[in-house]
Copies of this chain bind each other. A is one copy, B any other.
Amino acid sequence: MTETTLTELLGYQLVQVCKAHRNKAESLLSEIGLHAGQEVVLHYLWHEDGRTQSNLVDELCVQPATVTKSLDRLESAGLVRRRADAEDRRVSRVYLTDAGRSLHRQIGNIWLEVEAASFGVLTAEEQETIRRLLQKVLKNLKQ
- Chain A interface (Cβ within 8 Å of chain B)? 3-4, 6, 9-11, 13-22, 24-25, 40, 43, 61, 108, 111-112, 114-115, 117-122, 126-127, 129-131, 133-142
Q: Which residues of B contact A122 (CB under 8 A)?
A: 133, 136-137
Q: Is the CB of A61 within 8 A of B130?
A: no
Give the number of times this chain occurs in the complex, counting copies. 2
Interchain CB contact under 8 A, B10 and A142: no
- Minimum CB–CB distance for A59 against chain B, Å: 9
CA of A13 to CA of B13, assembled, Å? 15
| Alpha-carbon separation in the docked complex, A10 to B130 (Å) | 8
Cβ of B17 and Cβ of A119 under 8 Å apart? no
